[in-house]
Amino acid sequence: MMSMLRLVDSVPSTNGRREEHQAQSLAVGAWLLECLPMGIVIKNDREIEKMREAGRVVRAVLDAVESSCVPGITTGELNRIAARELARGKARSAFLGYRQGGAPPYPAVLCTSVNRVVVHGIPSDRESLREGDIVGVDFACYKDGYCADAARTIAVGIVSAPASALLATTRECLDRAILECVPGHRLGDVGAAVESLAERRGYSVVRDFVGHGIGRAMHEPPSVPNYGPRGRGLRLQAGMVIAIEPMVNAGGPDVRLLADGWTVVTADASLSAHVEHTVAITADGPRVLTAA
C-alpha cells in the first residue's frame, strides 16, 4: 500500500476483464480498505505553501526541459538542463538515488519516456529525440523538506495526428481528474474521471502504476489509481495532497519492465502518454501546486 507509482496488486477492475467472481469480491474488500484514511498526512496551510514553493521549482524545471525538446537533442542533455534549473531553484532531486523494488538506485534527476515508454525512462547521451516523437518528462524535488512532483508529455516538432490526439486526451484526463479534487468527493471519482474519458476515446489506462499522496515524502498514502468505481474509495478532505498521474496508452493497458529495472514500456509497443500534477484539496477547491 505504500510505495506509489507502484505495481498494484489488489485493486479492483471495473472493466469486467478480471473475469472471476471471487476476484470481484476481493476487489470490493480492497476498496473498503482503501476508504480508511490510514497513514494519510493532512497538511496545514503553511505546509501547502512549502509544497507550492517546491512546485514552482518543478514547473521551472519542466519549462526549461520542454523548451529544449527539439529534434536532435539527447535525453541525457535534457537531464543536464533539468539539473541546472534544479540547482538554480536551490532544491534537491527526489529521483536521483531513489530506490524502488529490487531496481538499482535511479541514476538521473529526470525521467524521459519516449514513444512506447510509459514512465521511468532513463535519460541517455545515446538517445536523440527525432521529429515526430513524443517524450514524457517527469520531475520531482524537495525544497525546505517538502516535495512536489509533475510530468508532461511533449511533442517533438510536428507529430502525427494520432500522437497529438493522444496527448490532448491525456491532458484532458488530468484536467477532469483535478476537477474532482474537492472535499467530500472520493478517490474513485478521480480515477473514474480519467478512465471514462480515456476509454471513450478508444485508449486504455495503465493499471499497474498509480499516482500517490505526497508531502514530506514523494510517496505517501493513498494510492491514486487512474480508474475506479465512481462514488467509492477514500473520501477526500481539505489538507490532503495527491499526485495525479494518468498514463494513457493508444493500445492495450499492459506494460512490461525492461532489464534496466526502471523503464516501463507498453506490451504492444503502442504509444503512451503521461502527465502529472501535485494537487492540494482545499475548502476552496483544487489547488494545483505544480501549475504556472
User: Where do contacts with ligand MF3 occur on this chain (CB under 6 A)?
Assistant: 4-5, 95, 98, 100, 106, 111, 120, 138, 140, 149, 212, 243, 276
| Contact criterion met (CB below 8 Å) for 228 and 195 | yes
CB nearer ligand MF3, residue 66 or residue 165: 66
> Shortest approach of ligand MF3 to residue 29 CB, angstroms?
26
CB nearer Co ion, residue 34 or residue 149: 149
**Using CB distances below 5 to 8 A depending on partner kind, what does residue 111 bind out of Co ion, ligand MF3, none?**
ligand MF3
CB nearer Co ion, residue 149 or residue 172: 149
> Shortest approach of Co ion to residue 160 CB, angstroms?
27
> Shortest approach of ligand MF3 to residue 105 CB, angstroms?
8
Q: What angle do CA 283, 289, 290 make, to 5 degrees?
A: 155
Q: What sign does the CA torsion over 84, 85, 90, 96 have?
A: negative
> Shortest approach of ligand MF3 to residue 109 CB, angstroms?
8
**Using CB distances below 5 to 8 A depending on partner kind, what does residue 106 bind out of ligand MF3, Co ion, none?**
ligand MF3
> Shortest approach of ligand MF3 to residue 110 CB, angstroms?
8
Return the exposure string of 115-132: e unless at least 16 CB atoms fall within 10 Å of the residue's CB, then b.
bbbbbbbbbeeebbbeee
List interacting residues with Co ion (CB under 5 A): 5, 149, 243
**Using CB distances below 5 to 8 A depending on partner kind, what does residue 77 bind out of ligand MF3, Co ion, none?**
none
Spatial distance between the Cα atoms of 152 and 62, rounded to a whole number of angstroms = 8
Q: Of 283, 213, 189, which Cα lies nearest the Cα of 37?
A: 213
Angstrom CA distances, 178 to 59, 181, 206, 275, stand at 17, 5, 18, 12
**Using CB distances below 5 to 8 A depending on partner kind, what does residue 203 bind out of Co ion, ligand MF3, none?**
none
Spatial distance between the Cα atoms of 232 and 56, rounded to a whole number of angstroms = 32
> Shortest approach of ligand MF3 to residue 151 CB, angstroms?
6
CB nearer ligand MF3, residue 5 or residue 194: 5
Three-state DSSP at 125 gives coil
With the CA atoms of 8, 9, 12 and 14 taken in that order, what torsion angle do they form, in degrees rounded to the nearest 10?
60
| Contact criterion met (CB below 8 Å) for 134 and 128 | no
Read off the C-alpha cell for 217.
515524502
> Shortest approach of Co ion to residue 94 CB, angstroms?
9
**Using CB distances below 5 to 8 A depending on partner kind, what does residue 54 bind out of Co ion, ligand MF3, none?**
none
CB nearer Co ion, residue 138 or residue 172: 138
Spatial distance between the Cα atoms of 106 and 123, rounded to a whole number of angstroms = 11
Peptide bond into 222 cis (omega under 30): yes
**Using CB distances below 5 to 8 A depending on partner kind, what does residue 95 bind out of Co ion, ligand MF3, none?**
ligand MF3
| Contact criterion met (CB below 8 Å) for 284 and 46 | no
**Using CB distances below 5 to 8 A depending on partner kind, what does residue 120 bind out of Co ion, ligand MF3, none?**
ligand MF3
Q: Of 158, 165, 117, which Cα lies nearest the Cα of 138?
A: 117
CB nearer ligand MF3, residue 58 or residue 166: 58
CB nearer Co ion, residue 31 or residue 95: 95
